[in-house]
Every structure is written in C-alpha cells, then in structure tokens.
Amino acid sequence: MSSADRALALLAAAALAAAPAARAAQEVVKIGACLSLTGPAAVYGAQQKAGVQAAVDELNRIGALPGVKLELVIEDDASTKEQGIAVYQRLIGREKVAAILGPTLSNTATAADPLAQAARVPVVAVSNTAPRGITDIGDHVWRVSLTEAQVIPGALQRAQGSLGFKTAGVLYGNDDAFTQAGYEVMKGALSALGVHTLGTQTFAKPDRDYNAQLTALIGQKPDILVVSALAENAAGIVAQARQLGWQGPILGGNGFNSAALIKNAGPAAEGVLVGTSWNRSSSEPANQAFLRLMASRGFEPDQFCAQAYAGVQVIAEAVRLAGLKGGRDDVEAGLQKVKDLATPLGRFSFLPSRDGSHEPALQVVKGGRFEIAQ
Amino acid sequence: MQQVINGLFLGSIYALFALGYTLVFGVLDILNLAHAAVFMLASFAALVLVTRLHLPILLALPLAMLFAGLLGMVLERVAFRPLRARGDSNVAGLISSLAVATVFEAVALEVWGPNVERFPFGTLPAEDPAHQLHLLGAVISRLQLTIMGVAVVLVLLLTYLVRRTRLGREVRAVAESPRAARVLGVDVDRVIAASFFISSALGGAAGVLYGLAFNSISPDMGRSVELKGLAVIIVGGMGSMPGAVIAGFALGLTEVLVVAHLGGSYRDAVSFAGLFLILVLRPRGLLGAASLREA
C-alpha cells in the first residue's frame, strides 16, 4: 500500500468513526488542559493527564451532557512559567477553548493565569495549593484543589481526635515561602486546638543535618512533632528523628505528600501523618465509581489524578447549569452555580473566594505506602 | 550530652573536609574552590558503586576516595599547573578552580538530575534500637560511630604520612619553599600532584561519609560545606593541619549548641561572627602563628 493509499484509508476510517458522534452532538465544548508533562513536576502531570482523559471519556460515554460533546486539548507546560504562558496563548487564541484546566504548578499559575483573566477565559486550577496569589488573580480564576490553609487544620484536628496530643514541637524551613506559610497555618491550627507548643526550631533548605534541632525539640518531650518542610528535607528530618530515638507521631505539611518521602526515609517513614485532599478509601459512590473507572483503565490514581478528574466534572457541571451551552461566558456563569457536586473528593462547592471547599482527610504511612487514617 | 555527640559527629565531617582544603593551601598558597565539587562527585561515585556494582560500602569508600584523588590530579593538571609559571598565579588559580567546580556541578546535574538521591537501604547494617549505644543519656548510632571512627583514622593516617614518611617531608619542604626544595632535588611537580591526590581523596571521603550520614546526595550538596570548610581553615590557621581538625570540631560543636540554645536561625550568624572575632584577635588563626611558612 502506498502512503497515499494509506492516508485515504485512514481518512475513510476516521470519517466512519466520527460520523455517529457528529450526529449525536450538536455542540462541542473544548477544554484546554495545561499540564506539566515534562520537567520536575512531570510526576504530577502524568497523574493529571490520566485523570482528565478518564473524566472526559467517561462523561461523553454516559452522555452526561445531552447534545454536548466534550473535547480535550492537552498541552505540556514543561514545568516552567515561560512555556506555560505560550501554552495559554495557544489555548486561548488558536484552540479557542471554553475553559482552561491547570496549570500543574502554582508558580506557573501566577505567570499564566493573568492571560486568561485578561481574555475572560475561565480557569479551573486542580493542583495549585499556594494559599494566596491564585484566585486573587481575578474573577475568572477558580480552584478545585484545597490550599495548605484548608488541609493542615483538618489533618491536625483528625490526628488529635485519634491521638489526643496536648503538646507539640514544631520544626519548619524558614527560608522558603511555601514552608513558612505552612508553618503559619500550623501555628494557628495548633493554638485553635488548644495544643501547647513547647518549642519551635528552624532550618534552611540546603541543610542536611537536623540532629541539633531535633534533639532540642525531643528534649522538651512533646506529644507530637509537627513539621513544615519540602519533600527533599522531609525524608532526612523523619529519618534523623527516628535515629535519635523519637517514637512519637510526626505530622507533616503538603511537602510530605510525596512518594519521595517513603522512598528516601524508608522504614523511618512508617506512621508519619500527612493531610490530603483526597480520601482514597471513601465509600461515597462518586469515589467508588472513580476507583473502578481508573482500575478498568489499568491506572493507579493518586490525589492529583482525583483532583484533575474532579476539575473536569466541575467544568461539565458548569456547562450543564448554563443550559448545556459551552461559550466562555456560559461556563463562567455555570461555575458560579456549582454546589454540592458529587466528586471523588467528596461533595464539592466553591467558596465566595472561588476557592474549592470539601472535606480534607488524614493519611498515615503504613507498610511503605500512604493509607487513609480512619 | 546528645547535642555534644551531634556536634562531634558534624565536626568530624567538617574536619575531614577542611583537612584536604588546607593541605593544598599549605603547599601551594592557593585556595582550591573545586574541593566542594570533588566532595560531591565522590559521593555520587560511591553511590554508583553501591547501586550498580553492588559493592559493599566499605569497599566503595576507598574506591570513591581513589576516584576523588585521581580527579584531584586531573584538576591540578588542568586548572593549576598551566598557570603556575605565570606571575600572579594565585588569583588566576582561584578563578580557574571555580570554573572547574562549576563544570563538575553542571556535569553532575546533567547525569543525575537535581533530585536528592540516597544510598539504598541496607548499605549499612540495619540499626537495631536494642543495640544502640547509650552514653550518659545520649544515643549514638552505629552509623555515627562508624563515621567518626573513619574520620579519626584518616586524620591519624594523614598525620603519620606528613610527619614520618619521605613524601611527607617533601610536601613540607615544598610548602616552605618550592625553589629551595627543587634545589635540594625534590620533584616539585610530583609532590604537588601527590598533595592534590591526598587532598581530594580526603575531600572525597568526607563526601561519601556526608552522603551516608544524612542520606542525601545531590549536585548542590557541596554548597553546604563549601563556606564552612573555608571558615574552618581560616580559623585553624591557613595551611595548618592540626588547626583544621580542631577548628572543624569547634565549628560542629558551635553550630549544634547555637541551634540548641538560641534556635536554628542564628546558627550561621553566630558561627561566622565567631570567625570574624577570631580573625580580629588572632589574624593567623588558632594555630597559624606556629607556622614558619610566612617567613
């Protein structure tokens, strides 16, 4: 078969395959996903890609939006601001998408979201967790992911419910905006719970030896160690605390929410507590359906996958609430009405600040993996 | 007591790192700023030996030191020797060693990426809490004991080498005056190359031990000891080996005690304020005055 013949055959096949879909769907709603498929954040981007693809396929398959076909355009922002901006320009100007989902990193969002705001294209963030500077960009930026400020207090409260600690030792990185912000949230949450903080210690990002800080904290005999650190520091802190003989609980911020913690701390990571926005073992029908769907696609989902899936659900719900219309203004109007939507994350609503709101959960490391603490 | 152990542990790594640093300075009057990069590459070399070739760490450590030593000789050949004949070779050597350090770090970044690596579990026998050593209420792990032990052995070995062997005498002769040493029939280039080998092997040993101690090997790991090592050799007296050892332990202890009593934010501020104070009071460092090299 010559290449021209092959092209013809392919065209014919494509026409056949497209024909029934074209008849069924009068309106096509394009969703642009700006994800980090390469670069340092690629590990999150891969999960998100699987999540959005599964959601779009599933919603189209069950005909969740009668007369509307969802179409997905996935672009790679390479974990950088610069490429993120280029992707946004393409999605807004060339692809003419109805809404943008992403980008993976808060850092990229601060650079790229203003473009969408200026073009009045709704953005649904599914993994940005910086408490400030995301939905503050403007009234077209919405967020499904919970911020640190939402996850940590919930996690601490649940942990206290089961462990009943009354005193805490706190360790945090004081040269990083993210860990510093996490610490502020922890401090507020601890005092709100009536937990007495016996000591507070700090470290810097390049540090690898935390023995001095940990010895000082452990010497004050707190009931729990609370740590705000990035993933690369977190494993060292946990391992050295155990080496110094600390047997009590350790609770970490979102930086701990990483497979690298378990890989690098090994057995020392057992029992470490981390807040999360997705309760994997929730028996809610929406979560069970999500787990079954991902299992049938042979994919092991994590929090990022579940959040991305929920992000597509939220956009689809907005289209439905806007009377099955998929213009940018329609989606925007629909987003304002989304309330109590059943997602894998739980019942989802938006706060007046356009940030997401649902129940956070608490994970514990058990047998070398994260499990939901009941 | 636990804090004293922590300080000695950290200090032993600083001392080992600074010892190699100061050796080259004593011989050549040149700061080798690539020392921290050799420290980092040796750690990665040991990691490769352990993970790819499945060598036990006790074999990987000397091999990584050998690798670091050879790297040091290459460094000397490329970055220092061509400049030595020129008039102002000290500043030029400083800059060219900085260039080599940057190249080494870029290579490591390209090969291993920016993520933090670690030695696999079981590289050292697992710690058994029941058999941990307890001393006056402090816990000393076998890892800490091993690392301090290796550091002390290497320091003693170097002292023996410099004080008692022929090579040691030649090294000291070149340090006093390269010209006089040459007149007396010492092969100066060979001695300088040997000093670089020893210096880098020690720096490499410090790198491997650091990687083991804190389970964190990354292309930028040298940064955390670079300035500290410099402070240690200044405080100890430039070129003085016993001074470097004493100052290394002193810095480790100071850092730990500052963190324990004042908090982590003050650590570097107090350490470097102490460095400044010592420089004002004793411009030649703790043991620098005993040296005759300036004469």
What pLDDT does A7 receive?
53
Chain B residue numbers with beta carbons less than 8 Å from the beta carbon of A240 are: 214
Report the phi/psi class of residue B48: left, alpha or beta, with left for phi > 0 and alpha for psi in -120 to 50.
alpha
The rounded distance, in Å, linking the Cα atoms of A179 and A285 is 35
What pLDDT does A77 receive?
92
Identify the architecture of domain B2-290 in CATH.
Orthogonal Bundle (1.10)
Q: Please, are residues B130 and B62 in contact by the beta-carbon 8 Å criterion?
A: no
A222-248 tens-digit pLDDT: 999 999 988 778 988 999 999 888 999
Chain B residue numbers with beta carbons less than 8 Å from the beta carbon of A236 are: 214-216
What pLDDT does A143 receive?
96
Q: Residue A40 is nearest to which of B7, B114, B224, comparing CB atoms?
A: B114
Chain B residue numbers with beta carbons less than 8 Å from the beta carbon of A232 are: 115-116, 216, 218
What pLDDT does A328 receive?
95
Find the residue in B nearest to A209 (Cα): B214
Please give the average per-residue pLDDT across B100-112, as a whole number. 87
Q: Please, are residues A174 and A204 in contact by the beta-carbon 8 Å criterion?
A: yes
Please, which residues have CB within 8 angstroms of residue A164's CB and are 6 or more apart in sequence? none
CA distances from B286 to A165, B88, B229, B243 (A): 49, 28, 15, 6
Structure tokens at B162: 């410099």
What are the boundaries of each domain within chain B? 2-290
Do the chains contact at B139 and A243, CB–CB below 8 Å?
Answer: yes
B159-205 tens-digit pLDDT: 888 888 888 888 888 888 888 888 888 888 888 899 999 999 999 99
Structure-model confidence comparison of residues B257 and A33, the more confident one: A33
- Fill in the DSSP letter of residue B187: -
Q: Which residues pair with A276 in a beta bridge?
A: A361
Do the chains contact at B214 and A240, CB–CB below 8 Å?
Answer: yes
What pLDDT does B207 receive?
92
Chain A nearest CA to B224, separation (Å):
6
Residue B280 has pLDDT above 80, yes or no: yes
The rounded distance, in Å, linking the Cα atoms of B264 and B260 is 8
User: Which string of b and e fits B166-181 if b means at least 16 CB within 10 Å?
Assistant: eebebbbbbbeebeeb
Structure tokens at A175: 């040269």
Mean pLDDT of chain A: 88
What pLDDT does B126 receive?
59
- As a 3-state breakdown, chain B gives helix, strand, coil percent values, each rounded to 5, of 75, 5, 20
CA distances from A335 to A111, A143, A356, B5, B269 (A): 23, 11, 11, 59, 51
Q: How many CB pairs under 8 A join A and B?
A: 78
Q: Do domains A26-146+282-358 and A149-276 have the same CATH topology?
A: yes
Please, which residues have CB within 8 angstroms of residue A46's CB and are 6 or more apart in sequence? A37
Give me the CATH code for the A149-276 domain, please: 3.40.50.2300
- pLDDT class of B125 with cuts at 50, 70, 90: low
Chain A residues with CB within 8 Å of chain B CB: 40, 174, 200-204, 206-209, 211-213, 215-216, 219, 232, 235-236, 239-240, 243-245, 260, 264, 266-267
Backbone angles phi, psi at A198, to 5 degrees: -75, -35
Cis peptide before A301 (omega within 30 of 0): no
Chain B residue numbers with beta carbons less than 8 Å from the beta carbon of A201 are: 259, 263-264
The rounded distance, in Å, linking the Cα atoms of A72 and A29 is 9
- pLDDT class of B282 with cuts at 50, 70, 90: confident
A116-171 tens-digit pLDDT: 999 999 999 999 888 888 999 999 999 999 988 889 998 999 999 989 999 999 99
Find the residue in A nearest to B258 (Cα): A212
- Give, in words, the CATH class of A26-146+282-358: alpha beta
Report the phi/psi class of residue A271: left, alpha or beta, with left for phi > 0 and alpha for psi in -120 to 50.
left
Please give the average per-residue pLDDT across B16-35, as a whole number. 86
3-state secondary structure of A141: strand
DSSP string, B8-62: HHHHHHHHHHHHHHHHHHHHHS---TTHHHHHHHHHHHHHHHHHTS---HHHHHH
Structure tokens at B109: 């970044």
Do the chains contact at A212 and B143, CB–CB below 8 Å?
Answer: no
The residue with tokens 């060219």 is B96
ipTM over 0.90: no
Chain A nearest CA to B210, separation (Å):
9
What are the boundaries of each domain within chain A? 26-146+282-358, 149-276
Do the chains contact at A264 and B6, CB–CB below 8 Å?
Answer: no
Chain B residue numbers with beta carbons less than 8 Å from the beta carbon of A200 are: 263
